[in-house]
Amino acid sequence: MKRLSAVFLIAVCVLLAAIAPAHSQRPRDVEQQINALLAKMTLAEKLGQLQQLDGEAGGNYRPEHVDLARKGLLGSTLNVRGAAKTNELQRIAVTESRLKIPLIFGFDVIHGYRTIFPIPLAEAASWDPSMAERTAAVAAQEANNAGLHWTFAPMLDIARDPRWGRITEGAGEDPFLGAAFAAARVRGFQGSDYSAPDKLVACAKHWVAYGDAEGGRDYNTTDLSENVLRQIYFPPFKAAVDAGVGTFMSSFNSINGVPASANRFTLTKVLREEWKFDGFVVSDYTSVKELINHGIAANEAEAAAKALNAGVDMEMVSRSYNQYGPRLVEQRQLSLATIDEAVRRILRIKYRLGLFEKPYADETREPGSLLRPESLRLAREAAAHSMVLLKNERNVLPLDKSVKSIAVIGPLADDRRSVLGPWAGDGRDENTVTILAGIKAAAPAQTKVSYAKGCDIKGDSDAGFGEAVALAKESDVALVFVGESDDMGGEAASRSSLDLPGRQMDLAKAIQATGKPTVVVLINSRPLTFGWIADNVPAILVAWMGGSQAGNAIADVLFGDVNPSGKLPVTFPRTVGQVPIYYNHLNTGRPPEAQNKYSSKYIDVPWTPQFPFGYGLSYTTFKVSNLQLSVPRIRVGDKLTVTVEVENTGKRAGDEVVQLYVRDPVASMSRPVKELKGFQRVALQPGEKKRVEFTLTRDALAFWNREMRFVVEPGEFDVMVGSNSQDVLEAKFAVVER
């Protein structure tokens, strides 16, 4: 018997060793190994670890990478992908170089690798961080099996200006919602141990305030107070650090005159000294060398010194560190200690990734890991749950399944690429379910589905209007798909207008003029302005750029198989002239009043948005009532419980996203008219009522004051709860000194 138990014990140990994450070393051991390795490294090898170089667009490495890897003078690549390719380059680094330090392979896995999920702004519209965690986990699983270790995501930039094309990559205008999605995405990409199979180390980007670019013009100047930095732009990044994010990326923009890639306040004082972040910071693409353009470095040597001394550990693509590092050390403009600390941080992440123990991808896993049925189902579910129903008069939607003929109109309805959105990873057009295909697949057998393009996305021709109008006239319902192409959003895609490009608005007007029931569906990467449609078309659905399964998801919502439950994560303005426009604004000394000429408003448009933050309808109706507070007053630091009742007063099951806002009406600084401090998605059957409870903690009431302390000031507070940021129930409570 004893022999049997011994054999059993050994078997269990072997099994545990096999399934244990590759990186099962204790932190102290890792630090000892790092220091031992550092002690062996030459200056050239240390500087090599600080260098990331770009692969070829198709995913191959470049010939010079082989030479550098062999000499131990390369730390990382971006865009090199595919298990066979990464293994080839990795094998050279870990078998032929002197110290055999593995490479870390990075790629922009922003909203999917081969299975493409909705753009992040769309996922934010689901107000379901758990969904984003699930999609990030699938993205990591596919990318890891394609030989990648590191994603340059999540993008955490708060954006209040939809002219900025990169608003598409984040979670919108609100710090609280942005922080929730930041943590969820980091958890999804990294899991609890990113050395485990199917995981990636994540990258909080772009640090920081990149979305505050003046004029919404990408890469432009940002100039904002430390209070606004801390109150609005930092929270998603702090949430990422609290969730254990392994890397950061410094941004292109200058912050109050000091470029983010040379900003010691953000890179060292906040990130290292206050937040104790111990991963590494990679620059953005050539943002180190661009310090010369910013005018704070006369040459690349100065740029290298400024960036490294400020806290940028790895240089993406430009080579200032490697080219000028030795001279800077000789001239004492750069210390070996600074270089060692940067190398230490990079090696720490490589150890935590388990790359020293398991440097290679298992090439047999890649084919079976892509586009799995369960991944596609998740993509379809995520896209459907991101859609926002803005209008539905006379219940035009959902489409009646007895409908005999449907006209599908618009250039985006048969476009395989645009619905994937910007930053579509390694997504392939051939894997996209187009909108037309999705509707044809979902429509009842006896329903005739016809298509007319009507016009191009851009361009002035209306030559196709006649065909589209004729088709609408002979159909029971007209579905008009308008919006942007994927290359009109994302990086270097700022727009001076938010109107529908080309002749799409005229196309929508021509179809509406037929008198047929008309539905407009937006395929967009940002808020757009479409006032005439908002005023005249009975049904409007924001479908965003929904990814590989966009067509099926849109059909699921249009036919009512999914009841839309999305809420806007960003304000939709009436006109670009209102921008920046956001819900958590200050009251001003003359808050807008229609009757009072001398108040803060425009003379040519209403001051209110077209659709407010947090807004979204459903195929059913909900009623929020009976707002109650646990107590009328609390002491500073105590918690307060807030409850409401939510009832489904309609005939269909549906989800409502109940939102809680707080206001501090009198404080030592002007405070926003409201700030999101809680939200809950509630599923309700027809007639069902549930009680929803929120707990307001100290952090929900605190703010960064003039002394730069995060404090709760005693006084009266307003609490507001509702189904969007405007339609709310209100109550008051007091905070008193302890």
The catalytic residue positions are: 284
With respect to ligand GLC, which residue has the nearer C-beta, 491 or 638? 491
Q: Is 218 in the site for ligand GLC (CB under 6 A)?
A: no
With respect to ligand GLC, which residue has the nearer C-beta, 108 or 173? 108
Q: Is 78 in the site for ligand GLC (CB under 6 A)?
A: yes
With respect to ligand GLC, which residue has the nearer C-beta, 165 or 551? 165
C-alpha to C-alpha distance for 495 and 579, rounded to whole angstroms:
12
Measured from the CB of residue 288, what is the shortest distance to ligand GLC in angstroms?
13
Q: Is 356 in the site for ligand GLC (CB under 6 A)?
A: no
Q: Is 391 in the site for ligand GLC (CB under 6 A)?
A: no
Measured from the CB of residue 424, what is the shortest distance to ligand GLC in angstroms?
13
C-alpha to C-alpha distance for 551 and 545, rounded to whole angstroms:
10
With respect to ligand GLC, which residue has the nearer C-beta, 422 or 551? 422
Residue with tokens 């700022």: 494
Measured from the CB of residue 287, what is the shortest distance to ligand GLC in angstroms?
8
Q: Is 284 in the site for ligand GLC (CB under 6 A)?
A: yes
Which of 117, 127, 152, 611 binds ligand GLC (CB under 6 A)? It is 152
Q: Is 285 in the site for ligand GLC (CB under 6 A)?
A: yes
C-alpha to C-alpha distance for 679 and 672, rounded to whole angstroms:
18
Q: Is 349 in the site for ligand GLC (CB under 6 A)?
A: no
Closest CA to 112 of 132, 94, 86: 132
Measured from the CB of residue 318, what is the shortest distance to ligand GLC in angstroms?
12
- Contact assessment for residue 122 and residue 545, using Cβ atoms and an 8 Å cutoff: yes
CA distances from 500 to 144, 466, 483, 546 (A): 38, 20, 6, 18
- Contact assessment for residue 409 and residue 471, using Cβ atoms and an 8 Å cutoff: yes
> What 3-state DSSP class applies to 459?
coil
The enclosing H or E element of 127 equals none
C-alpha to C-alpha distance for 183 and 306, rounded to whole angstroms:
31
Q: Is 302 in the site for ligand GLC (CB under 6 A)?
A: no
Count of residues touching ligand GLC (by CB under 6 A): 7
With respect to ligand GLC, which residue has the nearer C-beta, 135 or 250? 250
Q: Is 205 in the site for ligand GLC (CB under 6 A)?
A: yes
The enclosing H or E element of 41 equals none
Measured from the CB of residue 489, what is the shortest distance to ligand GLC in angstroms?
13
Q: Is 108 in the site for ligand GLC (CB under 6 A)?
A: yes
Q: Is the dihedral of CA 416, 171, 389, 379 positive or negative?
A: positive
Q: Is 661 in the site for ligand GLC (CB under 6 A)?
A: no
Measured from the CB of residue 679, what is the shortest distance to ligand GLC in angstroms?
27
Q: Is 696 in the site for ligand GLC (CB under 6 A)?
A: no
Pairing of strands 104-107, 710-711: unpaired
Relative orientation angle of helices 550-558 and 373-386, to the nearest 10 degrees: 50
C-alpha to C-alpha distance for 250 and 284, rounded to whole angstroms:
6
Q: Is 611 in the site for ligand GLC (CB under 6 A)?
A: no
With respect to ligand GLC, which residue has the nearer C-beta, 233 or 285? 285
Closest CA to 206 of 177, 244, 233: 233
Nearest residue to ligand GLC by CB is: 152
With respect to ligand GLC, which residue has the nearer C-beta, 78 or 397? 78
Measured from the CB of residue 205, what is the shortest distance to ligand GLC in angstroms?
6
Measured from the CB of residue 59, what is the shortest distance to ligand GLC in angstroms?
13
Q: Is 491 in the site for ligand GLC (CB under 6 A)?
A: yes
- Contact assessment for residue 354 and residue 23, using Cβ atoms and an 8 Å cutoff: yes
With respect to ligand GLC, which residue has the nearer C-beta, 44 or 492? 492
Closest CA to 166 of 181, 153, 149: 153
How buried is residue 575: exposed, middle or buried, by Cβ count under 10 Å (0-12/13-18/19+)? middle
Q: Is 315 in the site for ligand GLC (CB under 6 A)?
A: no
Measured from the CB of residue 382, what is the shortest distance to ligand GLC in angstroms?
22
Pairing of strands 633-635, 518-523: unpaired
Q: Which long-range contacts (CB under 8 A, 24 or more apart) does 368-374 make?
A: 369/141, 369/142, 369/145, 369/146, 369/198, 370/113, 370/114, 370/115, 370/142, 370/145, 370/146, 371/114, 371/115, 371/431, 371/548, 372/115
With respect to ligand GLC, which residue has the nearer C-beta, 252 or 622? 252
User: Residue numbers of the site for ligand GLC (CB under 6 A)?
Assistant: 78, 108, 152, 205, 284-285, 491
